[in-house]
Amino acid sequence: MPEDSIDHIDFDKLNEKAVSQPLVSHIYTADPSAHYFDGKIYIYPSHDIESNIPFDDLGSHFAMEDYHVISVDRESGEATDHGVALHVKDVAWAEKQMWAPDAAHKNGKYYLYFPAKKSDGIFQIGVAVSDSPTGPFTPEPEAIKGSYTIDPAVFEDEDGSYYMYFGGIWGGQLQKYRNNVYNYNNELPKPNEPALLPIVAKMTDDLLEFSEEPKEIKILDENGELLLEGDNDRRFFEASWMHKYNGKYYFSYSTGDTHFICYAIGDNPYGPFTYGGRILEPVVGWTSHHSICQVEDKFYLFYHDSSLSKGVTHLRSVKMVELEHQADGHIKTISPYSL
């Protein structure tokens, strides 16, 4: 939701109309990556803090330092904060800005994937490992080779393969890359040119590295053409996620400066994906970031907004609501503040 509209919001009335309430309120949490491990929902969010850093388009005011893990009891709906799972001071290669993470599970081990800036100001993605879904997580000494930009999302396919999706423009630095190579002079395409695309790489068997060169995944319009940079209501900005439903692959993402969560549908993990519509309308706060988690026979959307902080865009709170796939395979759009 645009910043200039927040001054007119009655937050008491807004919260009365909200389709869900914050899962935790003692800390600020955002960018929720939710997974169903061993019969319980675990959420791996960012941990928002007040940094007193001036706002800018690069997101410098998002100065997160650590990660907490939140679990949700299926019966009571009660959420539990399991405390600090990983702190930036424990990551040898990272200096600051522990942004949106994700997690995966394999053979009794749990893997926390996270972006952070190195001392040169460039984002890379790291991984930390634990014997417990709640941590603490022990980071690998170096970032994942060949990783860059932000918002890792690791998808486990039915054949046991794992794929990482990542990327984000503006502060996420994706616009500085072409063919996986950084050049400070690179910028966004022109409005009439194809938009920058999210990135995918298959993981090694130990889930610690990429097993292949990262590659772009195509998001196409109804005519089979790449979405254009000027198509701000549909083009990729950040916040990759992947889930599977009825044999189809659903790649979902944020449009950033237009504040939508959208999705596109494909037939394999690499795409191409054809734009399908919106999952979530704009929330309070500038950013929108989500995950989709299957719990038995139901799907849930996890997202955040800034209603608890009364519109402070870098102090957000994680929420959840049931997600509906319609008979034709499309997803029913959710309005976050109307019942």
Active site residues: 31, 238
**Whole-number Cα distances in Å, 310 to 50, 207, 221, 260, 272:** 14, 39, 36, 20, 39
Strand partners, 89: none
Give the span between the Cα atoms of 58 and 102, in whole angstroms.
21
Helix (H, G, I), strand (E, B) or coil at 82: strand
Q: Are the C-beta atoms of residues 177 and 188 closer than 8 Å to each other?
A: no
Helix (H, G, I), strand (E, B) or coil at 4: helix
Do the bridges between strand 273-280 and strand 219-220 make them parallel or antiparallel, or are there none, so unpaired? Answer: parallel
Vertex 182: Cα angle to 174 and 129 (nearest 5): 70
For 36, other C-beta atoms within 10 Å of its C-beta total: 16
Give the span between the Cα atoms of 147 and 164, in whole angstroms.
10
**Whole-number Cα distances in Å, 234 to 229, 253, 277, 329:** 9, 9, 8, 19
CB-side exposure of 197: number of CA atoms within 13 Å? 23
Cβ partners under 8 Å of residue 224, min gap 6: 274
